Structure 1
Amino acid sequence: MRVAQKVAIVTGGGAGIGAALATALAAAGARVIVADLDEAAALAVSARINADHPDATVGAGADAADTAAIQGLIALAEQHFGPVDLYFANAGVVGAPGLDATESDWDLSLAVNLRAHIRAAQLLVPQWLDRGEGYFVSTASAAGLLTQIGSATYSVSKHAAVGFAEWLNVTYGDQGIRVSCLCPMGVNTALLYAGQESGEPLGAAATRAVVSAGEVLEPAEVAEIVLESIAAEQFLILPHPQVLEMYRNKGADYDRWLRGMRRYQAALLAETR
């Protein structure tokens, strides 16, 4: 799909990858609803983009995991630009490290990292089927293909996000619905350093694991790769190509991979002490 003249919604658009995606989409000729739980951040990103691309975006405060809020974003897009062509389920949360994560921690991670995707698809896919076209882009993580040292809530919810994106692709891919799943490793955003700032050994180890596993990319670099992948209608978007080899190694000998991850975690924890 070419994004020029298309209408997109980007959640988590107030910073990081979401802001970069909104910027890249507008530069490519799309019209974008920039949504974020932090309304001021969404409005600031929208204003910055519109300064270079007049009337290309509208900013909005919204909880990406709330069905009524998603409905509001769809209505806002239709009011300003027309029917939604692309939905970027990009909002995400890290979650607490270890088994000390509370019921509330689990609820939040599953709501934002998974259920937000499901709820958006439930609203948009029927419309897209009627129109014969639509594009759903899920921001998961390399943790959704591999794992995440530290946060069980993040690892589990991102695995589930990958699984849901796969299911959407298989179920509707022959009916005009395109689906891509973004699975980066380290990206220079606040989310990357949240574990380190938590003060928890597992949290610090998680940040160190991602930073040491490969190059930390800038959000704009990731956004460029995403748009190239959308043009190619490619399902798995891997800004860090080495993730594919890691994924293959995991599948080739699961027990060996688990032993290696335990050794890696032990080394990281020793470094944080």
Structure 2
Amino acid sequence: MRIDGSVAVITGAGSGIGRAIAVALAAAGSSVVVGDIHAEAVAETAATIGGLTVAGDAASADGVAALLDAAHNAFGRVDIFVANAGIAGESGLGDDEAAWDRIIDVNLRAHIRAAKAVVPEWLERGSGHFVVVASAAGLLTQLGAAPYSVTKHAAVGFAEWLSISYGDKGIGVSCVCPMGVDTPLLRAMAESPDEETRMAGASVTSAGAVVDPDAVAALVVAAIADGTFLVLPHPEVLTMYRQKGADYERWLAGMRRFRNSLG
């Protein structure tokens, strides 16, 4: 994918990884449309990069349509879609059924709805690139938070399916799986009044370095340009993933020990 001169849409761009990706793509020559449910925050992102802003819920079909309509009206097409919006959800098993529905919508169905909207156009053109911002939790797991772990596993699975189904038809797919990134989401976990949520945050920060969102964004831009699927801001995740597959029982026992060590 040639980034200079492309048109990119990024969800969850009001802060954190989404904002950093928007800045990086704009710097690389993309015309950028940014979306977020937090109108003031995403307007700041757009002002920083000279992009267009659409405030709304990227988990809804209407929210996706609003972003794509803005891009088509201003630039005539969409070349890159970065499905970045995500939430942490409840801790433990997640007692609230509505909260389960919400995190499935944001962390999974948002990707599906976006892909359903852009893939037909890209198939006609024979080009396009879809970025799923998932998590190392989607390759490994997330201690203390079943909803987050389950939806990130599903997001990775959907990205794999997209690549297998359309990778020979001109459509690139990248799946971003970081561990700790210095974002409002991770800080909120660390400062949560809920003990299980704080433990979940501690499991992330103690497993490896907490990296800056700009570092993640640089890798994402490179992956789009190179057509790389798996983006690992923490390279050690690949070692952990291989250990998991090599001996699942041992890995599960080790994760239980790790959880116990965190209290």
Work out the CA distance in 2 between the residues paired with 1:81 and 1:240. 35
Secondary structure of 1:193 counterpart? helix
Letter in 1 for 2:40: A
Q: How many Å separate the matches in 2 of 1:266 and 1:130?
A: 52
Partner of 1:53: none
Aligned length: 263
Q: Deviations over 1:163-215 (max 9, x none)?
A: 00000000111111110000000000011122222222221111111111111
**Counterparts of 2:184 and 2:131, CA distance in 1:** 21
Instruction: Show the counterpart of 1:215.
Output: 209
RMSD: 0.9
Aligned to 2:78: 84
Kindly indicate whether residue 13 of structure 2 is the aligned counterpart of residue 13 of structure 1. yes
Q: Does 1:148 align with 2:163?
A: no
Taking the aligned partners of 1:132 and 1:225, their CA distance within structure 2 comes to 24
Unpaired runs of at least 5, structure 2: none
**After TM superposition, what 4+ stretches of structure 1 lie above 3 angstroms from structure 2?**
none
Residues 58-95 of structure 1: CA deviation (Å, up to 9, x unaligned): 01102011101111111100111220000000000001
Q: How does 1:56-71 map to 2 (within 5 A)?
A: 57-71=51-65
Matches within 5 A, 1:23-62: 23-50=23-50, 57-62=51-56
For residues 217-236 of structure 1, what are the structure 2 equivalents within 5 Å? 217-236=211-230
1:79 to 1:155, Cα distance in 2 relative to 1, 3 A? same
> Is the Cα–Cα contact under 8 Å of residues 138 and 153 in structure 2 kept in the other structure?
yes
Equivalent residue number for residue 100 of structure 2:
106
TM-score by length of 2: 0.98
Matches of 2:74 and 2:185, distance apart in 1: 31
Query: Secondary structure of the residue that 2:185 maps to in structure 1?
Result: coil
Q: Distance in 1 between matches of 2:157 and 2:61?
A: 21
- Contact 2:94-2:147 within 8 A present in 1 as well: no
Unmatched 5+ residue regions in structure 1? Answer: 51-56
Out of 161, 174, 180, the position equivalent to 1:186 is 180
- Quick one: distance in 1 between partners of 2:101 and 2:107? 10
Indicate the SS of the match to 1:98.
coil
What's 1:130 paired with? 124
SS of alignment partner, residue 65 of structure 1: coil
1:94, 1:194 within 8 Å by CA — same for their partners in 2? no
Give the whole-Å Cα distance in 2 for the aligned partners of 1:197 and 1:8.
Answer: 33
Instruction: Decide whether the 8 Å contact of 2:54 with 2:66 is kept in 1.
Output: no
CA distance in 1, matches of 2:187, 2:259: 17
Query: What is the TM-score when the length of structure 1 is the normalising length?
Result: 0.95
- Matching residue of 1:176: 170
- Is the contact made by 1:95 and 1:101 (CA closer than 8 Å) also made in structure 2? no
